[in-house]
Amino acid sequence: MKTPEPESALSEPLEAGLYIVATPIGNLGDITVRAVDILRRCEVIACEDTRVTGKLLKHCGVSTRMQRYDDHASDKQRAMLLDMARSRPVALVSDAGTPLVSDPGYRLVREAREAGISVTSIPGACAAIAGLTLAGLPNDRFLFAGFLPVKEKARCDVLNELGGVDATLIFYETGPRLERSLRAIAELWPEREVAVARELTKLHEECRTGRAQELAEWYAEHSPKGEIVLLVGPPSDAPPTGDPEALLREALSEMSASKAAGKVAKATGMDRQTLYARAVELKSQ
């Protein structure tokens, strides 16, 4: 385990390499002492938007040169940054939070490692983790799934794919799409606990919990503003949804044994194969 650098080490020259620096997700007070020190001493700061990062640097009294970078940057631009990182310290930040978490940096880090360039992570704020710590949902296992797709079919496919994962699911979400996502979750997993963590670390921070249906109704009335993390508790934590046999019979009146087994597995968290075997029996009676 690395120990924190003593004060005296902060003014020593920074070693060459790529520094992945987390920045605040709202409250500027969340920048770490180490992050400010690295940003101050590096040669250049690669960032998504120089206006956004410029405000943070001004707040911290850092005057290091900035250079725009995202994963769509040209190979030439990336090669230039990597070339610089061989002999000088180069920092990467995103607009907010931890770079590479639904933010650029993956290609840069990958190519830096391949080129034998030193890569150092300076950890700090991350909305997914802040949301998890607020939601009060089981946190022994969690799965970060980024943004849900915008198109309905793709969104349903992703939710279906994640349905059997016995972990708290964490999504990034936007205000205009929140209600639709909650309604899709309500349809698939009516009993699972859901949390909407909004405007974390900011003035209007809130974390609202309940079933997806209740939350969809709430946000239909109270248009959600700002940035959002959406969390869904694991299937094993949801209360029983009634008699699986009755649910299976009901589903079989409308669909095939395979689809009925899938639907009841999602609603109850029960094993799909077992349900399928029982559905086939029921169908043949």
- Chain residues that interact with ligand SAM, rule: CB under 6 A: 25-26, 94, 96-98, 101-103, 126-128, 172-174, 197-202, 227-229
Task: Output 144 or 276, the one with its CB closest to ligand SAM.
Answer: 144
For 220-258, give the DSSP string.
Answer: HHS---SEEEEEE--GGGSPP-S-HHHHHHHHHTTS-HH
Task: Output 49 or 271, the one with its CB closest to ligand SAM.
Answer: 49
CB of 204 to ligand SAM, least distance (A): 10
Q: Whole-angstrom Cα distance, residue 37 to residue 52?
A: 19
Task: Output 205 or 214, the one with its CB closest to ligand SAM.
Answer: 205
Residue 254, burial from CB neighbour count under 10 angstroms (0-12, 13-18, 19+): exposed
Residue nearest to ligand SAM (CB): 97
* Closest residue by Cα to residue 180 from 154, 204, 143, 155: 155
Assess contact for 237 and 165: CB atoms under 8 A.
no
Q: Whole-angstrom Cα distance, residue 28 to residue 65?
A: 20
Q: Whole-angstrom Cα distance, residue 233 to residue 192?
A: 6
Task: Output 168 or 241, the one with its CB closest to ligand SAM.
Answer: 168
Q: Whole-angstrom Cα distance, residue 94 to residue 49?
A: 8
Assess contact for 30 and 122: CB atoms under 8 A.
no
CB of 40 to ligand SAM, least distance (A): 22
Q: Whole-angstrom Cα distance, residue 265 to residue 267?
A: 6
Task: Output 108 or 228, the one with its CB closest to ligand SAM.
Answer: 228
CB of 184 to ligand SAM, least distance (A): 17
CB of 171 to ligand SAM, least distance (A): 8
Task: Output 84 or 130, the one with its CB closest to ligand SAM.
Answer: 130
CB of 176 to ligand SAM, least distance (A): 11
CB of 217 to ligand SAM, least distance (A): 21
CB of 125 to ligand SAM, least distance (A): 7
Task: Output 198 or 278, the one with its CB closest to ligand SAM.
Answer: 198
Q: Whole-angstrom Cα distance, residue 46 to residue 38?
A: 13
